Chain A
Amino acid sequence: MSESPFPETMPSPWVSAHTLPWWQAAAEHRLVVQTCRECGATRHPPAPRCWSCRAPAHEWTELPGTGAVYTFTVVHKSFIPGLEVPHVVAAVELDASGNARLVTNIVGCAPSDVTIGMRVAVTWDDIAPDLSLPRFVPA
């Protein structure tokens, strides 16, 4: 994504044993959500046990990579050198995920065109060999 407003100096993700599988899937351009094997409830961010039935057993469900903007902000102040403004930080509610929401960016359109409820689709931004970030473009 050559038009990305996000520089290499953006903070990289911190990960644990519980969140690493999500990031490993992302590096393979697979958008997943953690799903409880006992009751089917989804959870994001990933966690050791299901918040609903408290079971630890889980699997990673691959998602279609589409969703709708739940909320967003157009950021006008650059808090990191090289971070271009304005840009959009959003929460996207992911289709087929049990309403899991992802913090992400809406790119590929003017920030002023973004609205709550807008349909969006994933686009992958490859940052490093082990790191790809899912951002979203208008669907």
Chain B
Amino acid sequence: MTACIVGIGETRYAKWGGIKDATEHELALDAIVAAVADAGLEIDDVDGLSSFADDRNGAIFLAAELGLPELKVALMSWLPGGGGACASVANAAMAIESGQADVVVAYRSLCQGQFHRFGQGPGAAGQAQPGLRRAHSLLEDQLGFTMPFGMLNPPIAYAMVLQRHMYLYGTTSEQMGNVAVRTREYARANPRAVMGAAPMTLEDHQDSRMVAEPFHLYDCCLETDGACAVVVTSSQRAADTPVTPVRVLAAAQGSPHRFGHGQYVNVNVDDDLYASGGSRAVAQRLWAKAGLAPGDVDAAMIYDHFTGLVLLHAEDFGFCGRGEGGPWFAETTLPINTHGGSLSEAYIHGLNHVVEAVRQIRGTSTSQVRDCETVLVTSAAGVPASALVLAST
């Protein structure tokens, strides 16, 4: 691939409901403007926008508000969920490599405090009395088989996945706790991280209240307010910018057999896939395209809506064998989620993981990996998964 990332932009990140003086909509524009400025480009250079997770801030409206001369591509990776974070960059790269656009900004703005709280489930809202009601989407039709029984939200759904992983492979709560603790250590060095001021020990993790077994509170990602954006352009155009371009070396996205919205909604995914991150096929294509093996990357930014899913992704992406994620994470020296991830920096649905990967290759991370040239980024579980390998040029 020849597409490059030349700009990154972030707003401030705050705990859920912490941003009251700016709308989510405004933050989307702020992140885009910041990313374009970071690239040394002008807003007038932008001719494409790309997002995921049904971002509320539609590209056609943002393009009008920004006064883009023309919006040539408006790209969306389907369905709510963070599986499309890397896909938003991959789709931007596709548009550029096929000649449909020159400068595409991938963005995600997510201020749950200004809307509903995703992790809480729907509550009793919108229901006068119990009884069947009409579905307004395929997703709602499927949620009809989960929500009435109390599978209300992602923590409950993915707790069931990890419970089976523990049953099959002997994974432990402490092994998941290792993810929370190490991620928090990185956040401590990162002034943007929402949880940067709060240290965490494995004992703290074990003592945090139980949400849905096996998930303690500290197994669950944050719910935050904020936005970020990434500017993608061709390598030719990148050469004209003042920044050091980061190459999109490989990208892959996909959804396995009968996966649908994955385990978040669907307990009928294939038995072979249920206790997984749903990314094995994506990983195989990604490594083949990159011409690399898992041992070749200098760092990894792994989607971490829950600690346990980092272990499942380590398995899917071939860092260890199936069922070995827990022991592997305890031993590995690979730098993972050096910004603090969704667990401790912010929950911008994993697009902040792409931003951190760019910083690592530029050499500007708050937990900089020495000679960092190649970084894996993953987005997934429960939705079409996606992943990138980013590399220095």
Distance in Å from the Cβ of A71 to the closest Cβ of chain B? 4
Residues in A with CB closer than 8 Å to B131 are 12, 127-131
Complex: A45 Cα to B1 Cα, angstroms: 39
Are the C-beta atoms of B267 and A75 separated by less than 8 Å? Answer: no
* A to B contact number (C-beta, < 8 Å): 156
Q: Is the CB of B212 within 8 A of A73?
A: yes
Given contacts A76-B211, A103-B151, A116-B163, A12 and B127 within 8 Å (CB-CB): yes
B210-228 at interface with A (beta carbon < 8 Å): 210-215
Chain B residues, CB < 8 A from A99: 271
Known: A19-B135, A72-B163, A73-B156. A105 touches B130 (CB 8 A): no
Q: Which of B143, B159, B211, B268 contacts A14, CB < 8 Å?
A: B143
**With A14-B143, A51-B258, A80-B152 as given contacts, are A91 and B160 in contact (CB-CB < 8 Å)?**
yes
Chain A window 121-138, contacts with chain B (Cβ cutoff 8 Å), 1 for yes, 0 for no: 000000111110101000
Q: How far is the CB of B256 from chain A (nearest CB, A)?
A: 13
A128–B129 Cα distance when bound, in Å, is 9
For chain A, the bracket of interface size reads: 35 or more
Assuming the contacts A14-B144, A16-B135, A89-B150, asked whether A73 and B213 have C-beta atoms less than 8 A apart, the reply is yes
Q: Which of the residues B148, B149, B164, B258 comes within 8 Å of A70, measured between beta carbons?
A: B164
Task: Let me know if A71 and B149 touch, CB within 8 A.
Answer: no
Interface string of B158-185 (1 = CB under 8 A from A): 0111011001000000000000000000
Residues of B within 8 A of A (CB): 120-124, 127, 129-136, 140-153, 156, 159-161, 163-164, 167, 209-215, 258, 267-268, 271, 274
The 9 closest A-B pairs by CB, nearest first: A9-B124, A13-B144, A14-B135, A91-B267, A73-B159, A71-B164, A11-B147, A128-B131, A76-B210
Q: Can you spell out 12 A-B residue pairs with CB atoms less than 8 angstroms apart?
A: A8-B129, A10-B147, A19-B145, A23-B144, A45-B145, A70-B164, A73-B160, A73-B213, A76-B211, A76-B212, A91-B160, A130-B131
